[in-house]
């Protein structure tokens, strides 16, 4: 396939436009909200690969994280709200659908259970993710990701509406996969920071394909603050996770779980994550 032939055909453009219009509609319908500094997204410790789900495939994902050793105050560590991160349990349900072989759309519902508290609604997110070329067609596989995040609960996150953009870069070398997700995120529409530009963060991973049932990997997550004025290193967040990933022997359920440690004072000390996903072909909807 030539590079020109790999461009998105008109039918795919139409589907992408429909999905973009939906996202813009959600943006326009969102109520006026205030803004604050965004951080690492603790509801989604996930590194996105180049590959999207295929056309007509629905994927259900359950993302979980728990902070056994965090901070006792809000707005530090993974807490972007007034509630402290220590012993915070977060869970997120994500439904992804492949609009085409190269573009997928997803919606999330976030819930959180703070220490000694009940379950709270954490917010919702919507994303579009895609790529232009076949995997392996370029020396480095390059994809894209656009996400709109709504955080209506100040206890969970004081940053009410954010736009997140991230390129996806992946390179396979033998049994190893190296994935980079640099993250550019900004509060939109309201609040004192809305004109400050983008914050920078990252979600990167190194994975070794050992066995389909179980393989090891390392994941790196972090946030450095606004691009035009990074935070002092000790107040930034940086984490390393040692993960095991693979497919469970029943039901085609895939998992990615493991503990993570914070590397700076601004990070939570220990976090655990466990993501489960299952996919089924449901057919083209558009």
* Among 12-20, 33-41, 104-112, 138-146, the segment contacting another protein (CB under 8 A): 138-146
* Residue 110 backbone zone (phi > 0: left; psi -120 to 50: alpha; other: beta): beta
In the bound state with another protein, the residue whose beta carbon lies nearer, of 10 and 251, is: 251
Quick check: 241 and 257 in contact, CB under 8 A? no
Measured CA to CA, the distance from residue 72 to residue 30 in angstroms comes to 32
Cα distances (Å, whole numbers) of residue 200 to 66, 114, 228, 229 = 24, 27, 10, 10
37 binds another protein (CB under 8 A): no
Question: Is there a contact between 152 and 108 (Cβ–Cβ < 8 Å)?
Answer: no
Shortest Å, Cβ 54 to another protein: 3
Buried/exposed 119-139: b ≥16 CB within 10 Å, e otherwise: ebebbbbbbbbbbebeeeeee
Q: Which of 227, 233, 242, 248 binds another protein (CB under 8 A)?
A: 227
In the window 90-109, what residues touch another protein (CB under 8 A)? 98, 101
Q: Does 57 bind another protein (CB under 8 A)?
A: yes
The reply to whether 139 sits near another protein by the rule CB under 8 A is yes
Which CB, 171 or 269, lies closer to another protein? 171
274 is a contact residue toward another protein (CB under 8 A): no
- Mark residues 197-216: x for contact with another protein by CB under 8 A, - for none: xx----------x--x----
The piece of 63-71, 147-155, 225-233, 269-277 that touches another protein (CB under 8 A) is 225-233
Distance (Å, whole) CA 223 – CA 281: 36
The alpha carbon dihedral of 90, 269, 49, 168 has a sign of positive
DSSP 229-272: EEPPGGGSEEEEEEEEEEE-SSTT-EEEEEEEEE-STTS-SEEE
Question: Residues 60, 120, 172, 231: which binds another protein (CB under 8 A)?
Answer: 172
The binder of another protein chosen from 184, 189, 202, 230 (CB under 8 A):
184
Residues that contact another protein, how many (by CB under 8 A): 40
Report the interface residues with another protein, using CB under 8 A.
1, 3, 51, 53-57, 98, 101, 134-140, 142, 167, 169, 172, 174-175, 177, 182, 184, 186, 195-198, 209, 212, 226-228, 252, 281, 283-284
């Amino acid at each position: 396939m030539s590079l020109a032939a790999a461009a998105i055909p008109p039918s795919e453009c139409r589907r992408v436009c429909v999905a973009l219009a939906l996202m813009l509609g959600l943006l326009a319908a969102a109520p006026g909200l205030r803004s604050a500094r965004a951080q690492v997204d603790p509801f989604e410790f996930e590194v996105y690969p180049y590959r999207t789900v295929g056309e007509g495939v629905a994927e259900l994902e359950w993302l979980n994280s728990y902070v056994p050793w965090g901070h006792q105050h809000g707005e530090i560590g993974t807490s972007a709200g007034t509630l402290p991160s220590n012993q915070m349990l977060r869970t997120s349900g994500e439904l992804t659908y492949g609009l085409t072989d190269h573009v997928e759309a997803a919606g999330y519902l976030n819930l959180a259970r703070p220490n000694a508290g009940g379950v709270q609604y954490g917010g919702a997110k919507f994303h579009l993710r895609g790529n232009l070329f076949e995997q392996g067609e370029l020396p480095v596989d390059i994809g894209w990701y656009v996400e709109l995040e709504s955080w209506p609960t100040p206890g969970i996150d004081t940053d009410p509406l954010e736009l997140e953009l991230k390129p996806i870069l992946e390179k396979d070398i033998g049994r190893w996969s190296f994935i980079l997700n640099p993250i550019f995120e900004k509060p939109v529409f309201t609040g004192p920071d809305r004109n400050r530009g983008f914050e920078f963060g990252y979600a990167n991973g190194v994975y070794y394909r050992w066995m389909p049932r179980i393989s090891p990997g390392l994941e790196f997550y972090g946030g450095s603050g606004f691009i035009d004025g990074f935070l002092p290193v000790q107040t930034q967040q940086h984490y390393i996770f040692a993960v095991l990933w693979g497919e469970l022997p029943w039901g085609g359920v895939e998992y990615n779980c493991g503990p993570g440690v914070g590397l700076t004072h601004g990070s939570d000390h220990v976090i655990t994550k466990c993501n489960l996903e299952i996919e089924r072909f449901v057919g083209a909807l558009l």
